[in-house]
Structure 1
Amino acid sequence: MKAPRPKASRTRRLRRIRQIFGPGFIAGAADDDPSGIATYAQAGAAYGYMLGWTMLLTWPLAAAVQEICGRIGRSTRAGLAETIRRRCPSPVLRLVVLLLFIANIINLGADLGAMGSAMSLIGGGPPHPWVIVFALASTLLETFVDYQRYARLLRWMTLALLAYAATAFVVHVSWGSVLRGLVVPAMPGSGAWMLVAAIFGTTISPYLFFWQASQEAEEAGLASAGDAEPGPDWQVRRIRLDSWLGMLFSNVIAIFIIVTTAATLNVAGTTQIDTAAQAAEALRPLAGDFAFALFAVGIIGTGMLAIPVLAGSAAYAVSEAFGWRTGLAQSAGRAKAFYGVIAAAGLLGVLVHFSSIDPMRALLWSAVVNGFVAAPLIALVIWLGSDSEAMNGQPIPRRLQLLGGAACLVMVGVAIMTTVSWIAPTAR
């Protein structure tokens, strides 16, 4: 008779399985925030299934970059901004952090607005009070809930994205057209390049680079201060699985969003979607109350996941750039400046929502700017990850250098084609 497995061994095995769904998986899920949902919904509404191939292309590229960032954080025990500060001139660091902070604030404003509108659609009443409630709740949770509990909460929040998978199966979908859109790259016309740039910019997002690197560094610090952590080989495999599964989950959900809106809105002739909440509202008469409810609830759930990642990545970047005490594992009393940036980001996001700025127009431009900024930032990340001295003797392998380089070249190509599409009509 086989002896029962010791309880400690089972607990350790379960803990390792949970670790696979760590910072990379949370980053991937947060990538499908309400503003990303709006971008993918616009792609499906405007062009049907034609742009599905962008999700197939961006998966390995985004996953490779996230893996590099995770390995930088784990090997250096420092976030991305801190690593840049150690190895690069100050102007480079300031420019990167400034662009990240501005894009994150705009993103926060759009996400909060979409969540407020979704809550208004579900429960009635004006959206503005809900915007304040969501911003305040997210800030308080991120500031005062124990880090380990909060990390587990974020993992469970990723399940909100399954609402979009469910929605795709309650509408009539031409799966043959879906497959063709995935494997046959097509461009509807030069006017679609700005939307493609927004898709790439919102899928391969710089704020996710900073979040994953800083989270890995923080978890490495906690592990070294407590029980002996698994060896470096296990950590490399875990980061790889975490990053690739996280971005796979993100892109599969994005495909379901494109599929749902293509099968309903595009077919019905509704080709212009400005917000995620508008997409949910437009679904109601075409796909029924159940699909509408799933889509709207998904907006709120993904927003509650994305807001702390957006505010947190901004806080990590700013605090590391200035050398402040940093980390969600720190108490609010010990890291006042870090949590102050989180609170300021939430407040500024609310102000963006209440301002005269068109949040979705600003968001589209921020996604495009992210697409332009991502290329040099990816090049910088590859350089840092390949530096054996910076990586404490654990540089990234050739495989990641090549995939990261491909991501950089693709982002450059998209930026060039987007610029050409702007110039060409003006020239005519």
Structure 2
Amino acid sequence: MTTDTRTGGRARTPAPRRGLLRLLGPAFVAAVAYVDPGNVAANLTAGAGYGYLLLWVLVAANAMAVLVQYLSAKLSVVSGRTMPELLRERLGTPARLAYWGQAELVAVATDLAEVIGGAVALNLLFGTPLLVGGLITGAASLLLLTLHNRVGVRWFEAAVVALLLVVVAGFVSGVVLAPPDPGEAAAGLVPRFAGPETVLLAASMLGATVMPHAIYLHSAMARDHHGAVEAASTRRVLRATRVDVAAALVVAGVVNISMLLLAASALRGVEGTDTLEGAHAAVLGSLGGGAALLFAIGLLASGLASTSVGAYAGSVIMQGLLRVDVPLLVRRLVTLVPALVCLAVGVDPTRALVVSQVVLSFGIPFALVPLVRLTGDRSLMGEHVNRRGTRVAAAAAVTLVVALNAALLHLTLLG
């Protein structure tokens, strides 16, 4: 047994040789964060209101997400620690508490979107009151988290991936039934805006796609999935990680783009499509009951899977930054209560979803900048430190996020 300073003194033992499929999984769990109800609200609102105009935002955000999620997983595979743990070691107490505060706000915004989405889906499927639906969504996520704690990470991954497949079926089927216009879709790949509202939607779509909590989560999932990795095995695991991330985010990207294409082709100009309920009614009227049922089922699976993943990310952040192990039920309630309050007081669910994604967009730089710096630290990453091309791409991603948020602030708050 040897001691590796990269793991804070913990022994790292050789990982058994495993087939490629056994090395896959963490990225698919993280990818659930990219197809949550906030994505549904933002993408449908953008497509129904502005057609294919903002398709380029989804393509750019998904490309950015591939880079970000790979760096997150690489960080933990090489160092043996999660990103929050590494930040705790490098930040003083005031900075660490401030950083945790913004991360906690991001976790609340994340859960707001996911619980509200699950509640709306239950209302569409069964007529369940929104508040009751929020409670059911929270309870279901608690059961999934219990599965992770008691049965193990592999079963948790399997359950989440199964829900992800339901989400894929629920939303991609709509595009099959209502194919988009190829010429207009191609025109949507040209970057442009059409007023302040489209900037708000773009920031919402970016926040819903490159989600801050997924960055923290993926570093923990990769560590839990792969366990201790011997230096000689690191390259092999990183190769598998690249495949894992690319495959998972292709799936997430297809779902997101399908949402916008569906709204642009079948819901554009239809009155009331600025809400999830209205979009469901429009799908029902345009494509029939089967498509509407798949839409609602996909939304429900999205809410159940993503709220479980979000709550797990919250515990990773708190444990890593503060070294505080909070009981599962308490951790679940911390971020669940604000969502339930919104449902109880009658806040418009879809608007709350879109605004929550804007909050997430503002949280992205706080996760992305440290990630880029940590993976660019040769003393931590050794031979796996980011190369020049990766550093340039990461800097471009950070610049895009900051610029979009600055434009959003100017146009919607000061303009």
Give, in whole Å, the separation in 2 of the partners of 1:128 and 1:116: 7
Task: Tell me the SS of whatever aligns to 1:231.
Answer: helix
Give, in whole Å, the separation in 1 of the partners of 2:414 and 2:302: 38
After TM superposition, list the pairs within 5 Å mapping 1:160-179 onto structure 2: 160-162=166-168, 163-179=170-186
- Equivalent residue in structure 2 for 1:146, among 129, 143, 151: 151
Task: Tell me the SS of whatever aligns to 1:156.
Answer: helix
Give, in whole Å, the separation in 2 of the partners of 1:57 and 1:73: 25
> Which residue is 1:66 aligned to?
69
- Call closer, same or farther: CA 1:339–1:211 in 2, change over 3 Å: farther
Q: Could you tell me whether the CA contact under 8 Å between 1:136 and 1:346 is conserved in 2?
A: no
> Which residue is 1:328 aligned to?
none
Give, in whole Å, the separation in 2 of the partners of 1:121 and 1:361: 17
> Which residue is 2:97 aligned to?
94
Q: Could you tell me whether the CA contact under 8 Å between 2:23 and 2:237 is conserved in 1?
A: no
Give, in whole Å, the separation in 2 of the partners of 1:47 and 1:80: 38
Q: Could you tell me whether the CA contact under 8 Å between 1:106 and 1:362 is conserved in 2?
A: no
Shift of 1:185: 2.1
Q: Could you tell me whether the CA contact under 8 Å between 1:316 and 1:338 is conserved in 2?
A: no
Normalised by the size of structure 1, how large is the TM-score?
0.85
- Call closer, same or farther: CA 1:289–1:359 in 2, change over 3 Å: closer
- Equivalent residue in structure 2 for 1:242, among 236, 241, 244: 244
Give, in whole Å, the separation in 2 of the partners of 1:126 and 1:367: 24
> Which residue is 2:265 aligned to?
263
- Equivalent residue in structure 2 for 1:77, among 70, 80, 83: 80
> Which residue is 2:388 aligned to?
398
Shift of 1:37: 0.7
- Call closer, same or farther: CA 1:371–1:116 in 2, change over 3 Å: closer
> Partner letter of residue 213 of structure 2?
Y
Percent of aligned positions with the same letter in both sequences?
Answer: 21
> Which residue is 1:113 aligned to?
116
- Equivalent residue in structure 1 for 2:21, among 17, 20, 34: 17
Count residues in correspondence: 396
Give, in whole Å, the separation in 2 of the partners of 1:91 and 1:398: 33
Shift of 1:376: 4.2
- Call closer, same or farther: CA 1:344–1:375 in 2, change over 3 Å: closer
The reply on whether 1:379 has 2:369 as its aligned counterpart is yes
> Which residue is 1:422 aligned to?
412
Shift of 1:122: 1.8
Normalised by the size of structure 2, how large is the TM-score?
0.87
Task: Tell me the SS of whatever aligns to 2:35.
Answer: coil
Q: Could you tell me whether the CA contact under 8 Å between 1:131 and 1:350 is conserved in 2?
A: yes
Mean CA deviation greater in 50-59 or 36-45:
50-59
Shift of 1:339: 6.0
> Which residue is 1:290 aligned to?
290
After TM superposition, list the pairs within 5 Å mapping 1:268-283 onto structure 2: 268-270=269-271, 273-274=274-275, 276-283=276-283
Shift of 1:287: 1.9
Shift of 1:164: 0.9
> Partner letter of residue 320 of structure 1?
G
Shift of 1:393: 5.4
Shift of 1:18: 4.2
Give, in whole Å, the separation in 2 of the partners of 1:269 and 1:281: 10
> Which residue is 1:158 aligned to?
164
Q: Could you tell me whether the CA contact under 8 Å between 2:106 and 2:212 is conserved in 1?
A: no
Mean CA deviation greater in 351-360 or 51-60:
351-360
Give, in whole Å, the separation in 1 of the partners of 2:94 and 2:353: 26
> Partner letter of residue 164 of structure 2?
T
Q: Could you tell me whether the CA contact under 8 Å between 1:198 and 1:368 is conserved in 2?
A: yes
Shift of 1:295: 0.8
After TM superposition, list the pairs within 5 Å mapping 1:218-229 onto structure 2: 218-221=224-227, 223=228
Shift of 1:76: 1.9
